[in-house]
Amino acid sequence: MIIDPVCGLPLTEPKEEYKAEVRGKTYNFCGEYCKHVFLHGNRIAYFSMEIGLEKDFHTYSGGLGVLAGDVIKSSADLKIPLVGVTLVSTKGYLKQEIRDGKQIDHPDDWTPSQYISELPKQVELKIENRPVKVKAWIYDYQSPRGSLVSVLFLDTDVEGNTPEDREITSFLYGGDREYRLKQEIVLGIGGVKMLKAADFNIGKYHMNEGHSSLLTLELLRNNGKEVDAVRDLCIFTTHTPVAAGHDKFSYDLVQRLLGNVVPLETLKAHGGQDQLNMTRLALNTSKYVNGVAKRHQEFSLTLFPGYNISTVTNGVHSFTWTCDSFRRLYNQYLPGWANEPELMVRVECIPDEEIWLAHMEAKEQLMQFVRERSGEQFDPNVLTLGFARRATGYKRATLLFSNLKRLEDINKRVGKVQVIYAGKAHPDDWMGKRLIEEINEMKEYLKDVMKIIYLENYDMEMASKLTSGVDVWLNTPLPPFEASGTSGMKAAHNGVINFSVLDGWWVEGCIEGITGWAIGPDPEENLEEAERRHREITQLYDKLEYLIIPKFYRNRDDWIHMMKNSVGKVAYYFNSHRMMRRYTTEAYL
Ligand SMILES: *Cc1c(COP(=O)(O)O)cnc(C)c1O
């Protein structure tokens, strides 16, 4: 079926005069107006180092990229005129093998030409004063009832480039500082040039994290160095709650690679005196700046005093992250939910038994998936906890094993628990790798008490299986490091209940005992770090022993009531449709 890419109208008889050839593709429209809007209308350019659209595009590493993919999908559903820009990352982020309980790293190649087409035009930029050619692949995401949003994947693997330059867009988050800066030059500066070459009219530039903030230098150059004019065009979303996490480069390196796109003095004035801080550059050149959860905004204000930082709390794309059995239920009882996730507030329309049946279907599918991947059989009648996200220190994947005696005792005396883990560690993150080893050691150590598995090669497909098929979604980050977190929102869409440290989005999502449970004290409470750790660990076990396990096994009605609250009080708000409407009214318009 042919769909008008602007208004979403199905076209039974496409008309020759409302056809357009652009960017090497043919598009059909319902009439002159949509055609004109598509060819000449202003768009929001959404820049992100990673965008996770589907599992076969290996252009994401974790939450940041998956969020960017959900931005694209919700924008298309809501007919927000947006175009995405990212790197093609043909060698991917990382293919994870787990051998003898340890992570082994492999490249994770993908072949863009299998899925997407090449743009006819290339652009050129300068790195170390040598010309580097950039091409782009275009992917069109057509929403079933909404509009079309294109994503450009920039690629320097072009004939005529030096062998080294041909690799710039190969490895997501790979290489050294120099490699990273080259990637950010291609993303920021190459991205702006490519949008122009591809005839996109851009009204706003949205930087998803600071990696792309060199785009503002290209805009300064195009706007006669008027920073106010650039500021008017730019929106910046920061995702990093700690100073050390922000991308920085020495000016020696910057000058060597970048030359003088803008005079060094101008660059220092906006990007910091001592070194180029990509976050600071973005802060100084954007009119609208936001954090990704209220708590993260508050923290960002302390990191960057004097800036006006707003907040738009993250969300996830409801349709993408709802499993088949729950989609069927929502279609039946809450028609229209996928494009109006607010309707999930009416979850009480759905009979309890049907919620439970849909959940058990998802749970059995997960158990089957685990069996296929690992050969291990999990029991669908046992309370199952899920923990899956990037394996890195602050996520504290092993917090559950802080007190083994207590964990064993709870399992033997109170009720059985089993845990499914997954997540990749960055190749250079030895702490993250160590956490994976420890979990595998625990699996061995506790094998007669509780069943544990660490699934290999976490990706979006596995994320959707896990966040729909477990009973409880566990999250134990070290505050304030979790800027938002989104996997718990995916869980909520499937009636899975969150049990999490009060950090990031969960500060806004948690109503104790109603929408889920908190682990540890309120972030507002003024406590010593040691006392905080102690309370986190005590509450983790206390709530498992006294609240969660008894409710699951002996009070199923109350459990289902909480599942419904997860849908009706969490998913109905923490979705990317609400998020994109907020960006539209607060930042884009
Ligand atoms: C949603 C998602 C994440 C984000 O998980 P958090 O728990 O929010 O960090 C990471 N990786 C993949 C593959 C995801 O789908």
Question: C-alpha angle 247/57/174, rounded to 5°?
Answer: 35
Segment 464-516, tens digit of pLDDT:
999 999 999 999 999 999 999 999 999 999 999 999 999 999 999 999 999 99
Mean pLDDT of 421-444: 97
pLDDT higher than 90, residue 426: yes
- pLDDT given at position 241: 86
- In this structure, the residue with its CA closest to atom 2 of ligand 1 is 63
pLDDT higher than 90, residue 335: yes
- In this structure, the residue with its CA closest to atom 1 of ligand 1 is 487
- pLDDT given at position 225: 76
Identify the DSSP state of 568: I
CA 142 to centroid of chain Cα atoms? 20
pLDDT higher than 90, residue 244: no
pLDDT higher than 90, residue 216: yes
What average pLDDT does the structure give for the chain? 97
Segment 297-324, tens digit of pLDDT:
999 999 999 999 999 999 999 999 999 9
Banded model confidence at residue 87, pLDDT cuts 50, 70, 90? very high
Q: Please tell me the CATH code under which domain 318-573 is placed.
A: 3.40.50.2000
Atom of ligand 1 lying closest to residue 395 CA: 9
- pLDDT given at position 1: 85
pTM tops 0.85, yes or no: yes
Work out the angle between the directed axes of helices 251-258 and 177-185 (0-180°, nearest 10): 50
Identify whether the C-beta of residue 301 lies closer than 8 Å to the C-beta of residue 307. yes
More confidently predicted of 241 and 540: 540
- pLDDT given at position 544: 98
Distance of CA 315 from the midpoint of ligand 1 (Å): 12
Confirm or reject: Cβ of 154 under 6 Å from ligand 1.
Answer: no
Mean pLDDT of 197-214: 98
Question: Is there a common fold for 41-315+580-588 and 318-573?
Answer: yes
Mean pLDDT of 535-545: 98
- pLDDT given at position 260: 83
Confirm or reject: Cβ of 487 under 6 Å from ligand 1.
Answer: yes
pLDDT higher than 90, residue 559: yes
Indicate the SS3 state at residue 336: coil
Number of neighbouring beta carbons within 10 Å of residue 246: 19
CA 546 to centroid of chain Cα atoms? 34
Banded model confidence at residue 238, pLDDT cuts 50, 70, 90? very high
The continuous run of DSSP H or E covering 551 comes out as helix 549-554
pLDDT above 70 covers a percentage of the chain that reads 100
Confirm or reject: Cβ of 66 under 6 Å from ligand 1.
Answer: yes
More confidently predicted of 231 and 260: 231
Q: Delimit the domains of the chain by residue range.
A: 1-39, 41-315+580-588, 318-573
DSSP string, 374-442: HSPPPPTTSEEEEEES---GGG-TTGGGS-HHHHHHIIIII--EEEEEE-PPPTT-HHHHHHHHHHHHH
- Burial (CB count within 10 angstroms: exposed 0-12, middle 13-18, buried 19+), residue 100: exposed
Reduced DSSP (H G I as helix, E B as strand, rest coil) percent helix, strand, coil of the chain, to 5: 45, 20, 35
Confirm or reject: Cβ of 389 under 6 Å from ligand 1.
Answer: yes
Distance CA 195, CA 54 (A): 23
Segment 111-132, tens digit of pLDDT:
999 999 999 999 999 999 999 9
180: left (phi over 0), alpha (psi -120 to 50) or beta: alpha
CA distances from 248 to 318, 481, 553 (A): 35, 19, 51
Distance of CA 171 from the midpoint of ligand 1 (Å): 19
Segment 389-409, tens digit of pLDDT:
999 999 999 999 999 999 999
- The token pair at 522 is 């309120």
Identify whether the C-beta of residue 492 lies closer than 8 Å to the C-beta of residue 574. yes
Distance of CA 429 from the midpoint of ligand 1 (Å): 17
Distance of CA 218 from the midpoint of ligand 1 (Å): 32
Task: Give the fold, CATH level 3, of 41-315+580-588.
Answer: Rossmann fold (3.40.50)
Indicate the SS3 state at residue 259: coil
Q: What is the gyration radius of the CA atoms in the chain, in angstroms? A: 24
Beta-strand pair 275-277/248-250? antiparallel
User: How many CA within 13 A on the CB side of residue 107?
Assistant: 10
Mean pLDDT of 279-286: 97
- pLDDT given at position 88: 98
Indicate the SS3 state at residue 136: strand
Segment 28-58, tens digit of pLDDT:
999 999 999 999 999 999 999 999 999 999 9
Confirm or reject: Cβ of 463 under 6 Å from ligand 1.
Answer: yes
